[in-house]
Structure 1
Amino acid sequence: MKKLFLPIYLGLSLFFINCSSDDNIIPDGEQEEEEQIDATAEDYPAQHFMWQAMNIFYFWQGDVENLADNKFTGPNDPSYIQFLASQDDPAAFFYEDLCNNHVEAVGEAAAVDRFSAVVDNYEDLLNSLAGISRSNGLEFNLYLGNNQIDVFGVVNYIMPNSNASEQDISRGEFFNGVNGQDLTIENYAGLLFGEDATYTLNMADLVNDNIVGNDKEVTLTKIENFSENPILVNKIIEQNGIKIGYLMYNGFLAAYDDELNEVFGTFKSEGIDELILDFRYNPGGRVTSAVQIASSVYGAKTDEVFVRPRFNAKLQEQFSTADNFTDVTYDSETPLNTLELSRVYVITTDNTASASELVINGLEPYVDVVQIGTTTVGKNEFSNTFVDDPEGDFLYNPNRINQINPNNSWAIQPLLGRNENADGFSDYTQGLVPDHELSENIENLGVLGDENEPLLALTLSIISGGTAKYQAAEPYPADFLTHSKMYQPGKNNMFMDGLITSF
């Protein structure tokens, strides 16, 4: 796998080369501006760093007036300093003044940028991208009640070795309250994702199409620095003489790449005939892990294009080289176990995003990808983590932690570009549509990895050629609101870790 190197002078020169010698002239009669001139860009370190990084890297840099190369004459330009001071909240500055119609600023209907993110502590973001978070291990979907005000949750899965795994709670259970308070559209975020480490879920049942509380309570405690293993289920299913490998993979996390390679080693040694990748709850992650899993499916075809990144006009010419399939894991460079399949089955839902979609799209030119479930999120852009380290091109580098501005812990995760496959296709912002559609039914979620679980059962019937015989119950018409992983800093991320590096 190649690495993309960014010479430090490339972006910074665009901002500093035109600094004017008379930047400190104070306009007459403008006391407010006089006071502003006394300030410097360094007085607004978060906003100053954000502007510089976005001016270089942001995919839509050419479409955002505030990021134009000729917008300001330099870091001492009074207009620039006033611009930095225009928002006290760096997050509001990022979303409203630097991003291209961000969903946080303009809403879903008018949004262009749905996924760029900002956090006030880069360590939180980095941990999230590594699958490390403050977590009780419970993953769930949230839905609106019939009145569009009440909210209820349904448990998707429970992470092994977590606090939730020690409690009396399981996949498919309902809850409609926290600490005795009914969940509503107004309070659910604070109650479920607030600062309290411990809370008690008030469980519920679905009775005659209504969510009705029962007497069961489950107390959960979030553990600091909990690490989720994304390989939730892996097994071999034998059906009608066919050996089928099944992998439920819930995040593209570098720390588990070697373990993932071992799973494929088992599939290879057992001589599987077909493979099912279950990405239904996978919001994305590291691109290098996506390259690895795609290569394990298709083969170590290091001379064939897996993905071709498209950057902004400033960077495209330098970084237009495609990234090919690989024959080793990225970090440990362990030889890759490959299956060299001509077909793969992928289970998806509206929780499937980013690097998961990249695997599907990247394999399409080479492999018959049979998609089962519902339409994916539609995140076809990639990103990287930026911190206040100008000499490192603002790209986070674990070897340069001491070079990060100690007075500025803010980090941004802006969209840098789009990944297209070998056929040049990247236009799936509306999501990737399944070949065989079936929504998860909250009345019957089943057991993950069990052959009778509805989505897996449908997939197995497709493999055996019995699709016409498979009959699934009509899913309960719940109005989906959000899911628990959307409240992590690295939500729905496709992270180009290792593929873009400072010079």
Structure 2
Amino acid sequence: MKTKLNKFLLLFLVVGAFSCKKDTVEPTTTATVNSPNAAANSWVYDQMKEWYLWSDKMPAKDKTDLTLVTGKDGEADIKSHYFYSLLNDYPNTDRFSWIRENITDLTASLSGISTSFGFSRTAVYLDNTQTNVAFFISNVILGSPAEKAGLKRGDIILTINGTQINGTNFATLIANNETATFGLGELKNGSYVLSGKTITATKGVVQNNPIQFSKVIEKGNKKIGYLVYTQFLETYDDQLKQVFGQFKAAGVNELVLDLRTNGGGRISSADLISSLVVKNLNTNNVIHQDEWNATIKAKYPSVATPTKFSNQPNNLNLSRLFVLTSNGTASASELVINSLRPYMDVIIVGQNTYGKNVGSITISDETKPARWTWGMQPIVLRTVNSKGESAYGTKTGFTPDYIVSDNVYPFKPWGDESETLLKKALEVITGVVVPAEASVTANRSYRTMDKSAILEEHISDNPADNRKDMFVTLPK
């Protein structure tokens, strides 16, 4: 997005972390002086007090325990760690701020880089005993070890290195193996059984290409652009413009934007999509405005400057937009929905979104050499659209216009017109019922699973990639 601030980001991405150095207030008590955590915690407090959106809700520093562990993301006792002890009503009002021990890992994950197999899956119990579990592959990153090994959306994994996936080990089997042999399954006579086929892959450094799939679907007088976009990454903005150029050249007059696996990304890329879609593009119109705490507003008056649409030659000038969503559709994805609603119809198909209307910055220690390697992502702003609306920041997010469960397994290929959510969008657009089976999937068997059997949906094999966050660079 164009803005008089530095470019905004929404989880998962950042091209560079913001470093911040402040004088550390020395601890005074003997116990605190002797604590190995005191200096880092004092620094954490000072940064939070300046930048945190809810800084007025923070306790006084002398009322905090500087001897606590600074903060180890993902541990069971996370609430007892110092960073999390400062958060406003964690994990309710603020369920988004986070910290990692390694700033390099943090910035890499925000840039779409991970060490992983490179796939996402939905984990589902296979029977009423809730014992055995199947991984239904919902997405495979282009160029990832998983894709190179032959794994694809629609595959079913029943075993890993010969071990049956179950309700106890489903979260750890992948994490504990650098190389894995996946035993694939198939549906036979109403049950999922091993097919005899296996795929072996080794984790590697993966760069997410968020433009996962695109095509033009022609139905009568409708030319429907379909785009699966998995993360808002600025490094792929030019390719995104090219896709919209192809849509425009094809005469696309409807668009289905599939964001069901998109947990966020750079706000500027979200604003780019809004500028490529919006009807009657006007660069004087506001996309959104951001609210900061009083200290930052006084220090950086430019944060009051609203973000406006940018001139995009490939703008489709659409009267409406269809967005496919899941509970993991978050941050920048929700920003697109909220930003466009004052200007056009945004029709949501799928499930309630994640519910995140706040953003963070990346803070690290800039001392040379750095005193510690912590990287923080505290919430620092709240976004509102041109009408001042921002009511989706709850755990229910946006409620779809058409509630459709993504619970037909295995998943059909991207672009299959009978695929659950796309099928509904096409029917609303055309008014014509799409056949239950398209030719590309006619020879496979499918099963609708009860929502209660689903353990987790669209989860990456690298846990760091599952965050839903919104963040910005330092304002000027």
In structure 2, what is the equivalent of residue 320 of structure 1? 304
TM-superposed CA distance for 1:208, in Å, is 6.6
Equivalent position to 1:245, from 194, 210, 225: 225
Q: How does 1:146-295 map to 2 (within 5 A)?
A: 146-148=128-130, 150-194=132-176, 196-206=177-187, 211-224=192-205, 226-295=206-275
Report the more deviating stretch, 152-161 or 86-95. Answer: 86-95
Choose which of 120, 135, 149 in structure 2 pairs with 1:139. 120
Which runs of structure 2 are paired with 1:30-429 in the superposition (5 Å)?
33-34=29-30, 36-37=32-33, 44-65=38-59, 68=60, 71-72=61-62, 83-87=65-69, 89=71, 91=73, 92=78, 93-103=81-91, 111-144=92-125, 146-148=128-130, 150-194=132-176, 196-206=177-187, 211-224=192-205, 226-298=206-278, 300-316=281-297, 318=301, 319-327=303-311, 336-389=313-366, 405-428=369-392, 429=394
Report the Cα distance in structure 2 between the residues aligned to 1:122 and 1:96, rounded to whole angstroms: 17
CA distance in 2, matches of 1:336, 1:410: 42
Q: Of Structure 1 and Structure 2, which has the larger fraction of its residues in helix?
A: 1
Q: Deviations over 1:136-170 (max 9, x none)?
A: 22221223454445543110122222222233433
Greater CA radius of gyration, 1 or 2? 1
Q: Deviations over 1:365-402 (max 9, x none)?
A: 1111111111111122212211113xxxxxxxxxxxxx
User: Counterpart in 2 of 1:3?
Assistant: 4
> What SS is found at the alignment partner of 1:233?
strand
Shift of 1:287: 0.6
Q: Structure 1: 5+ residue runs without aligned partners?
A: 6-10, 25-32, 73-78, 104-110, 328-334, 390-402
The CA distance in 2 between the partners of 1:211 and 1:404, in whole Å, is 56
Q: What secondary structure, in the 3-state scheme, does the structure 2 residue paired with 1:59 have?
A: coil
- Match for 2:164: what amino acid? D
Cα distance, 1:385–1:89 mapped onto 2, change above 3 Å? closer
Q: Quote how far apart the aligned CAs of 1:271 are.
A: 2.2
CA separation of 1:409 and 1:208: change in aligned 2, threshold 3 A: farther
1:176 is displaced (CA, Å) by 3.2
Q: Structure 2 matches for 1:476-487, cutoff 5 A?
A: 476-477=449-450, 478-485=453-460, 487=462
Any idea what the Cα deviations from partners look like across 1:151-210, whole Å, max 9, x if unmatched?
43110122222222233433222223322233344433332124x321122333456765
Distance in 2 (CA, whole Å) between partners of 1:270 and 1:442 is 31
404 and 212 in structure 1: CA distance in 2 versus 1, 3 angstrom threshold: farther
For residue 45 of structure 1, report the CA deviation from its aligned partner.
4.6
* Whole-angstrom CA distance in 2 between matches of 1:405 and 1:485: 34
**1:282-309 deviations in Å (ceiling 9; x for gaps):** 1111111101100110164221111111
Shift of 1:411: 0.4
Whole-Å Cα distance in 2 between the matches of residues 458 and 466 of structure 1?
10
SS, match of residue 484 in structure 1: strand
- After superposition, the Cα gap between the structure-2 partners of 1:176 and 1:100, relative to the gap in structure 1 and judged at 3 Å, is farther
Structure 1 residues 88 and 164, CA, compared in 2 at 3 Å: closer, same or farther? closer
SS in structure 2 at match of 1:461: helix
Change (3 A) 1:443 1:141: closer
Partner of 2:13: none
Tell me how far 1:48 sits from its aligned partner: 3.0
Q: Distance in 2 between matches of 1:486 and 1:357?
A: 24
Question: Identity over the aligned pairs, expressed in percent?
Answer: 33
CA distance in 2, matches of 1:157, 1:38: 49
Q: Is the 8 A contact 1:286 1:494 kept in 2?
A: no
Measure the CA separation in 2 of the matches of 1:253 and 1:56. Answer: 28
Structure 1 residue corresponding to 2:448, chosen from 475, 481, 486: 475
Output one character per residue of 1:411-458: Cα deviation in whole Å (capped at 9) or x when no partner: 011222221111222121111111112112332522111223232222
Counterpart-to-counterpart distance in 2, 1:404 and 1:147: 57
Whether the aligned pair in 1 keeps the contact of 2:117 and 2:203 (CA below 8 Å) is yes
**Range moving further from structure 2, 176-185 or 125-134:** 176-185
CA contact (8 A) 1:439 1:475 kept: no
Q: Displacement of 1:485 after TM fit?
A: 3.2
Structure 2, unaligned stretches of length 5 or more?
7-19, 438-445
Q: Give, in whole Å, the separation in 1 of the partners of 2:382 and 2:294.
A: 13
| Separation in 2, partners of 1:48, 1:151 | 45
Measure, in 1, the Cα distance between the counterparts of 2:193 and 2:268. 45
Q: Which amino acid aligns with 2:363?
A: F
Q: What TM-score, normalized by structure 2, do the two folds share?
A: 0.83
- Go from structure 1 to structure 2 and tell me whether the alpha carbon gap of 1:150 and 1:95 turns closer, same or farther (over 3 Å shift): farther
Cα gap change, 1:144/1:385 in structure 2, threshold over 3 Å: closer, same or farther? farther
Q: Which has the higher contact order (CA 8 A, sep 6+)?
A: 2
Structure 1 position 212, deviation (Å):
4.3
Contact 2:52–2:293 (CA<8 Å) still a contact in 1?
Answer: yes
